[in-house]
Amino acid sequence: MAALTTGSPPRPAPLPAPPEGIPAPALVANREQRADGWHVWSGGERREEASRGVSRILWRGRLAASLWKAAVGARVAEAVLCLVAFSVLAADHRKGWALDSYDRYKQFRYCVSVNVIGFVYSGFQVYAQVHHMMKKKHIIDRSVGDYFDFAMDQILAYLLISASSSATARIADWVSNWGTDPFPSMANGSVAVSFLAFLAFAFSSLISAYNLFNQNNFGSQFQ
């Protein structure tokens, strides 16, 4: 019996070189070639992954631009609707056969007050958007501004629906007692516009919520 020897195992003989004029076969690394769990990227996989990354970046850019345009449009709509709502109701003074006025009813005063606040706030937001577009600088730092926008949008949306509902109940009570005339008709028109302003603020609250919960992403920089 041959004696046992110690040391490293013998190395396999090298493969013979290919004949002249025949290129050596290309080695392509893929998932199946690695049994240890590691993934070696092939050239095709790298190109495919790079293409997906570029597509994601372009999609995010388009989404951010769309959100910015929607946010500006909503702010302008809020300012216009709140202005119309409180202007119409404030003009409802000494109207109808009873020469009644909005300031005699707390529900109408509440509705006017909320729409004035909504107009001032949305006007400020429009100014802030224009300021950012021109100077590339936010009036309120986004680390605080996203919380401010989200809180104010939620509060004003709630106040507007509350004021519109209370004013609607007051109008219905007035009409049931005295019938319809120009006084409740103007109040009804103001309340309808106030409800539209609530929808605009509800839409803005969705955008501000998205920006708030994506502060580390691309969304907040466009708000």
Three-state DSSP at 139 gives coil
Please report whether residue 58 resides in a domain. Answer: no
Q: What are phi and psi of 95, to 5 degrees?
A: -115, 160
**DSSP three-state, residue 30:** coil
Domain count across the chain: 1
Q: Which of 125, 141, 143, 153 is nearest to 215 (CA)?
A: 143
The answer as to whether 199 is a domain residue is yes
Q: Residue 105: which residues within 8 A CB-CB, separation 6 or more? A: 170
Alpha helices in the chain (DSSP H): 43-90, 106-135, 142-178, 182-212
Q: Is residue 179 part of a domain?
A: yes
Residue type, 66: S
Nearby residues of 39 by Cβ (< 8 Å), 6 or more positions away = 31
33 pLDDT tier (thresholds 50, 70, 90): very low
User: Is position 15 within any domain?
Assistant: no
Task: Give the residue-averaged pLDDT of 55-71.
Answer: 72
Q: What percent of the chain has pLDDT over 90?
A: 52
Which residue segment(s) compose the domain that 212 sits in?
Answer: 69-222
Residue found under tokens 């020469």:
99
The rounded distance, in Å, linking the Cα atoms of 60 and 5 is: 66
Does 18 fall in a domain?
A: no
pLDDT: is 11 or 139 the higher one? 139
**Inside any domain, residue 27:** no
Which comes out higher in pLDDT, residue 7 or 73? Answer: 73
For residue 83, what are its two tokens? 């202005």
3-state secondary structure of 62: helix
**Model pLDDT, residue 214:** 83
Residue 15, number of CB atoms within 10 A of its CB: 7
Residue 83 · residue 112 · CB < 8 Å = no
40 domain residue, yes or no: no
Q: Is residue 193 part of a domain?
A: yes
